[in-house]
Chain A
Amino acid sequence: MTKILVHDMTLRDGMHPKRHQMTLDQMRTVAQGLDAAGVPLIEVTHGDGLGGSSVNYGFPAHPDEEYLGAVIPLMRRAKVSALLLPGIGTVDHLRMAHDLGVHTIRVATHCTEADVAEQHICLSRKLGLDTVGFLMMAHMASPERLVREARLMESYGAHCVYVTDSAGHMLPADVTARISALRDALQPDTEIGFHGHHNLAMGVANSVAAVEAGARRIDAAAAGLGAGAGNTPMEVLVAVCARMGIETGVDLFRISDVAEDLVVPMMDHPIRIDRDSLILGYAGVYSSFLLFAKRAEAKYGIPAREILLELGRRGMVGGQEDMIEDAALTLARVRGAA
């Protein structure tokens, strides 16, 4: 029987639709629910990872230290992970997370820029942490290019390398091609992971394709709470895996109760494929741009989906939230002059 590790995103990717305003109590309650449901690994940080607190991405209700410090001591079985994007967070943040007791560090780069992760992956390994390389916007690189970048992360010491569909743009065949290429190229004991977004409703289908191609870590969020149209919904993934004979170790009733009773009531807006998140998936745009584009629409009168299309056309990558207001201003000026 195939066994996979499901990695919960509710309290990290789910911070995007919450504008990073989750309370410590919400973090504790959801994490305890996930732990009791048998979710083995739970990510906790600002949506943009350690050090994400900023004008550009949003100031959180609490610093990463407080969120991690609130959740980690309460976990009975589950371990906690933290995300780090070099260029945003530094090794100082990594050391802080280690001191607070995180089990896993995930070092995220754009899919063609893995070499900026060297110092962070090396340090995470040196500290004895479970270390993951996270190749974002993976639809923008061919399978061959992705292999090159994954090999770099492996050479720095990553235990696991992720194909990260940050834009929710991939279709199952795209996932199969990339995961298979990595599985063939990496050492047998290096794990492969997949992180999906549901912008084209492919979260579960893509995750299944990933497992079939050899991925053994799959990201998902209770009720799909995540950027854009959300992440792969954990409770649905667990049910589908059970039907396919893939072992997750997660209790279906308990995880669906976490989704229904704890996470859905927390939502500021329904996490669904609306006309804007659909365009994220369609045009291949970073999912956390969604709310920024909606705010720019409200302020500058340019439809969010047109701003998102423009950002896709310009080849913007994860972290370029500053370019949303910039693009809206430019579009507004051009139209005003026309």
Chain B
Amino acid sequence: MSKVNVAILGSGNIGTDLLYKLKRSEVLEPRWMVGVDPASEGLARARALGLETTDRGVEGLLPAVEIDGIAIAFDATSAYVHAQNAAPLTARGVRIVDLTPAALGPLVVPPVNLDEHLGTGATNVNMVTCGGQATIPIVYAVSRVQSVRFGEIVATVASKSAGPGTRRNIDEFTRTTAHAIEALGGARQGKAIIIINPAEPPLIMRDTVHCLTDAPPDRDRITRSIAAMIAEVQRYVPGYRLVNGPVFDGDRVSVYLEVEGLGDYLPKYAGNLDIMTAAAVRTAETWARQVQRLPAAAAGGGLSP
């Protein structure tokens, strides 16, 4: 079966890591990488791997959408640029997986709510934050067993894996993640904390999830639910691991995780970046499999919105 053609907007670290993952995909074919700097190393690397590139931003991609049948675009630029990228692509029937903090479309954490959005025909989905991708599955794993009045996560990332965008907009991380802990994770109130640790050699991403339940926690069911969820996340992030817990202490359930990346382009300690790109690819692959089940004509020139 023919693969679904995709484009990557953004030729930085995230865009390049996406490219490496997409080259392995059985259902997605990376065709274009979009940048803004003719001298970009990322664009040169993409060309060497056989992709078409443009340094004229989304404008440079638009003519190719129809010619090359680009059905899905990954946006790894910035929240500001995403706002400009989204409309012309959506108008041409391209579905967007947004890795920026723009969050114009619904938030998606694959094992929690991807199925839900497949049916709704959402054309632009947002990947929340790295800490959200790593922790919200666990909040959800507890809240699907019993009600959670307070969900809190602590994400610790290596200093070298926190780029200038994250640093300048650290409040975006805490706000968006806290919101998603409620909206997707199912906690009545959410709190998110991010710590940047400069240790050398760099520490693998750590994530801690604390849930406070309304009734005393049902230990067996919660433990089973969390184990099942971890296995689910490991299908696309093999280095997603339980380090300790679940700890049950009164109404508190705490889970201590680490996320090691695949080391495709980004170093292995940068599990925070890997889980974002892996979740984005998983989302797009799920979309693509839907397309492949449609008649060939409908899959030819992009997805119908």
Taking beta carbons and an 8 Å cutoff, which residues of A are in contact with B?
54-56, 86-88, 90-92, 110, 112-113, 115-116, 118-119, 140, 314-317, 319-320, 322-323, 325-326, 329-330, 333
Contacts and interface: CB of A to CB of B under 8 A. Distances in A.
B195 A90 contact: no
Interface residues of B, number: 35
Given A119-B171, A322-B208, A87 B256 contact: no
A86 to B, nearest CB: 5
Interface of B: 150, 152, 154, 156, 159, 164, 167-171, 173-175, 191, 193-200, 203, 206, 208, 210, 212, 243-245, 247, 252, 254, 256
A55 B252 contact: yes
B194 A87 contact: yes
Given A55-B212, A320-B197, 4 more contacts: A56-B208, A325-B254, A326-B208, A329-B245
Max chain A Cβ within 10 angstroms of own Cβ: one of B168, B243, B244 = B244
A320 B207 CA distance: 11
Nearest to B198: A112
Contacts of A56: 152, 154, 193, 208, 210
Max chain A Cβ within 10 angstroms of own Cβ: one of B193, B254, B256 = B193
Contact of B247 (A113, A320, A325): A325
A305 B125 CA distance: 47
Given A110-B196, A112-B159, A115-B164, A55 B152 contact: yes
B78 to A, nearest CB: 15
A319 B198 contact: no
Nearest to A114: B167
A92 B198 CA distance: 27
A151 to B, nearest CB: 16
B175 A90 contact: yes
A87 B170 contact: yes
B167 A116 contact: yes
A319 B156 CA distance: 10
B212 A113 contact: no
A119 B119 CA distance: 39
